[in-house]
Amino acid sequence: MARHLSISNNKSVNRKSSTKSQTHSIMILNGIELQKPVIDWIFGKCKLLTALDFENCPINYIPKELGNLLHLKYFNLRKTKVSKLPRSIRKLQNFEFLDVRESLVRELPIEINRFFKLQYLFGRPALKVTMESHRLDDLSLLSNLLTEEDIDCCDFSHVHRHHLKHLQFVSKGK
């Protein structure tokens, strides 16, 4: 049984080896296009996943079974064709890292406020995020969503400055 699995082609996954997978992390390599049975296996059988990396993978959807991955901490959808995250994402209480840069995701579900452990959020500049101000205390890095200039020139009267003091800002121009 593999604890860490890298998938470089659709034949590299032996889905029949176990009815329950002990795999903790999966990384998709070479931008391969995953077949539906492989995606179903990942979200249906790999309940102990803590890291799931789809960067450069041409997938266009995330199944609602994402909510079954209760241990998931790291989720990378950078450079994918995913446009929407399922509402079942609200079940992921251990979420720490989310990257949706260069994907088609335009809005994060309101359920992002339930991610009390979320520390790193990477997104595209126009990504719509509805986040309660007290949640900003726990974020360490908010990338491409706000810049320091946004803080200075926009109306954040509903957000107390102390919510932003530990927040690091990253923008493409720097």
Q: Is the pLDDT of residue 147 over 50?
A: no
Distance CA 49, CA 92 (A): 11
Confidence at residue 113, expressed as pLDDT on a 0 to 100 scale: 77
- Identify whether the C-beta of residue 129 lies closer than 8 Å to the C-beta of residue 108: yes
Structure token digits, residue 94: 């251990």
In the structure, how many helices (H) and strands (E) does the chain have?
2, 8
Q: State the Cα torsion 9-13-15-19 to the nearest 10°.
A: -140
Angle, CA 76 vertex, CA 70 and CA 81 arms, to 5°? 115
The residue that leads in pLDDT, 38 or 166, is 38
What is 4-170's CATH number?
3.80.10.10
Rounded CA Rg of the chain? 17
Confidence at residue 34, expressed as pLDDT on a 0 to 100 scale: 86
User: 20 burial class (0-12, 13-18, 19+ CB within 10 angstroms)?
Assistant: exposed
pLDDT in tens, 48-71: 999 999 999 999 999 999 999 999
pLDDT class for 155, splitting at 50, 70, 90?
Answer: very low
Collect all residues with Cβ–Cβ distance below 8 Å to 167 and sequence separation of at least 6: 136, 139, 140, 141, 142
Confidence at residue 60, expressed as pLDDT on a 0 to 100 scale: 92
Average pLDDT of the segment spanning 143-152: 49
Confidence at residue 141, expressed as pLDDT on a 0 to 100 scale: 60
pLDDT in tens, 84-124: 999 899 899 898 999 999 999 988 888 887 788 888 888 87
The residues spanned by each domain of the chain are 4-170
The residue that leads in pLDDT, 139 or 148, is 139
- Identify whether the C-beta of residue 161 lies closer than 8 Å to the C-beta of residue 134: no
Q: Is the pLDDT of residue 21 over 70?
A: yes
Q: Is the pLDDT of residue 11 over 60?
A: no
Mode of pairing for the β-strands spanning 168-170 and 141-143: parallel
Strand partners, 76: 53, 99
